[in-house]
Structure 1
């Protein structure tokens, strides 16, 4: 049985925590890491949380450490420049060189071998055991457990991040900030492809998933002690803060997230307009507007990703995505020789955006239609195997208040999961 979190604060009902309550939840960290080298892992701009407030609180509480570095757990997201990093943590350029001059701000460099340290191996047999019925030979053999060298050189790791329903791991947060957050490509690829084999609909919003188990298995190899500050975000504030070891604090946050971030609907919708917010500046992340609504869509229905600000598929992975397009898992598994050169993480993203489906008589049959209304043009959408709508001809309000017709508008999609009630 996991120990209780070191400290926690949870708002009642639909309320939010006050600043004093948040501060009180973090206070037990004061004096715990005196004269130690501390590395704090944080998300990038594609996650909602009051990071500027938390950054200032945490720096104040950790005022007696030897060194304090914040690292953006990018996974394979593009690195942030200096101005973007300052905006992320909410400090000015002047503060950067005065008040916070001793605080490091870094990007994770997942593609730089010199930035990574190998801390262990998860044998193929263990991967097979964890994957269970989801195992497939395309997952490969033993998996090298690599992560940013700064995590090994630190005396303590603190993870600061939110927990939401997640398409790959079930619920985000916790050790996910290690793998894939600051890991090497091996764990990134295997975890995402295992999630794809399990499917979004069979993973998202579930606590116990094969990918979560694999991430926790990899975390056992990390030699540095880990403390987690698990957050449950509601709107612009916090509904919960859980501080403790990375398993118990995450577990408590996932339990609260399941209450705050899942909307249960009586019956599936035939059409959903899923409005991706500007923080998703690539389709690589705006795909969350699909993942969180897919379980609430009827077979044969249509999901429209409405992102009038978006003009990029992926700065890092765009070449591969344009090569393969967006398809279902059976499409790739039944033509593996054509696609085995593509990183598993990219294949996984493709299947997550396209949704589930079947393969019959050499043809792919997706469960639903996925249409993109963005600055990515019709020719590109055709190449990507997605439908196209001109966002300038689309009025989101035309989709509002039509639930009785089987039509749903979600105004800030990507973090709240919609699911159909069991037995509906």
Structure 2
């Protein structure tokens, strides 16, 4: 069977014997919305758990509206979300000068002006003030009290000072928070680094046995933080593996978001009969394979599809290298996977959590990467480099035997195997 696996802005070919393919793991198909713009207009007028957005804005008459938006690493169909949202602003008498877009970078790098245009479009960049969140800028953070786990909640000052707070997002599987979107726009999106670090530290407890989303302690704390931040209204979408909108939700932070979660879960959590000897997982191309930090999601999902002692092939361009400095530092310490895991468990640090994720897989399985990265960077991630997918397949068969079984994951960054 032949495959064209997404890689950067293109694809790479692969050819696997049909008899050796245990399963091709793809999201369950769901028809894209025929009129997504109309669907957005409808949910803004008939949201879940809140009055219509226009009514809320007219009643509140906010002088400062903040819209929290995703960064470049999270593909979001703004061409569908922005036009109806701006129509509502106009209807409610909200001038452009009253609206600020805050990019929820979490601990990622801030956007450049060119990236803002690439992600949001020229018109949005011309009309509105757009600022990237900086999790390390103490002057730009406000203390909001303690979260239920006992740690401090620091929030972006502009977000805190908003008279009306809206968040936009995409609801997709996430390897320890359960799903993206909703509350994640606030924590980690616009929270202080210390807060993000304390929240994410619990991932080491969850990665091997992720609880149902409504019981996930990391997610529940994120919801608590979003309530403290005062989120007034969310607008989220579920997209298919081609980034086509299949569902739109709007309204209450939990009620609307959980509805999107149920739809996303039905699409992206896919049963498999048993782990395979070899998994081939594409990180879904740019921007999801922009760096190792983002491509790790494809590794985590492939880990779930591969037996202990098996081989994982990751197809990810990673044009921007590691993607985060602390992560890079950990991977270049010359430590064993076990040493990295022990250190992160004892002294959790953001960036180190990605090192933990790579180390956890490498401790039990072999990893081969098809990537633009040089061999020394690949080796630092406890992996071997292959120049093509076919070369990687040959390397994996040499390790696992000529009759080894494969699971193929063309959308590995978003498809979650469920044994």
Normalised-by-shorter TM-score class: 0.7 to 0.9
Q: Describe how 1:70-219 pairs up with structure 2 within 5 A.
A: 70-91=101-122, 96-97=125-126, 100=127, 103-122=128-147, 126-127=148-149, 142-199=150-207, 201-203=208-210, 206-219=213-226
Q: State the partner residue of 1:366.
A: 363
Q: Does 1:26 align with 2:53?
A: no
1:225-273 CA-to-partner distances (Å, cap 9, x unmatched) read 4311222111222221121211111111111111111221122121112
What CA distance in whole angstroms lies between the structure 2 residues aligned with 1:412 and 1:213? Answer: 28
Give per-residue Cα distances to partners, 1:347-379, cap 9 Å, x unaligned: 2211223336xxxxxxxx823223332232222
Note if contact 1:164-1:416 (Cα within 8 Å) is conserved in structure 2. no
Pair 1:46 & 2:73 matched: yes
Mapped to 1, the partners of 2:210 and 2:154 lie a distance apart of 25
Counterpart contact for 1:326–1:353, Cα < 8 Å:
no
Q: Report the alpha carbon displacement of residue 325 of structure 1 after superposing the two structures with TM.
A: 6.5
1:239 aligns with 2:239: no
Q: Considering Cα pairs closer than 8 Å and 6+ residues apart, tell me whether 1 or 2 has the greater RCO.
A: 2
1:305-320 → structure 2 map (5 Å cutoff): 305-310=314-319, 312-320=321-329
Contact 1:273 1:396 in 2 (8 A): no
Partner in structure 1 of residue 234 of structure 2? 228
Matched, 1:16 2:32: yes
Q: Does 1:286 align with 2:316?
A: no
Q: Which residue among 367, 372, 385 is the counterpart of 1:389?
A: 385
The residue that corresponds to 1:9 in the other structure is: none
Q: Deviations over 1:324-345 (max 9, x none)?
A: 46866x64464579x73xx522
Distance, in Å, in 2 between the alignment partners of 1:227 and 1:327 is: 46
Unaligned stretches of 5+ residues in structure 1: 1-11, 128-141, 357-364
Q: How many residues align?
A: 367
Contact 2:313 2:392 in 1 (8 A): no
CA, structure 1 residues 116+390, in 2 after alignment: closer, same or farther (shift >3 Å)? same
Distance 1:273 1:56 in 2: 39
Equivalent position of 1:410 in the other structure: 409
1:272 aligns to what? 279
2:215 counterpart SS class = coil
Kept after mapping to 1: 8 A contact 2:341/2:356: no
Q: How far 1:385 sits from its partner (Å)?
A: 4.2
CA contact (8 A) 1:165 1:204 kept: no
Contact 1:171 1:207 in 2 (8 A): no
Q: Distance in 2 between matches of 1:392 and 1:405?
A: 19
TM-score for both structures, normalised by structure 1? 0.78
Distance 1:61 1:42, change over 3 A: same
Alignment correspondent of 1:6: none
Q: 1:302 to 1:243 in 2, by over 3 A?
A: same
Give deviations 1:299-331, integer Å, cap 9, x for gaps: 111212212353501244354233446866x64
- The answer to whether the Cα contact below 8 Å between 2:144 and 2:153 also exists between their aligned partners in 1 is yes
For residues 89 and 235 of structure 2, what CA distance do their matches in structure 1 show?
14
Moved more, 312-321 or 280-289: 312-321
1:298 CA displacement: 1.3
Structure 2 regions of 5+ residues with no counterpart? 1-27, 46-51, 397-402
The CA distance in 2 between the partners of 1:308 and 1:354, in whole Å, is 20
The superposition leaves residues 47-106 of structure 1 with CA deviations (integer Å, 9 ceiling, x where unpaired) of 2331222122212221222511111111111111112111211335xx743xx2xx2212
Give the aligned partner of residue 298 of structure 1: 307
Provide the aligned C-alpha RMSD in A: 2.8
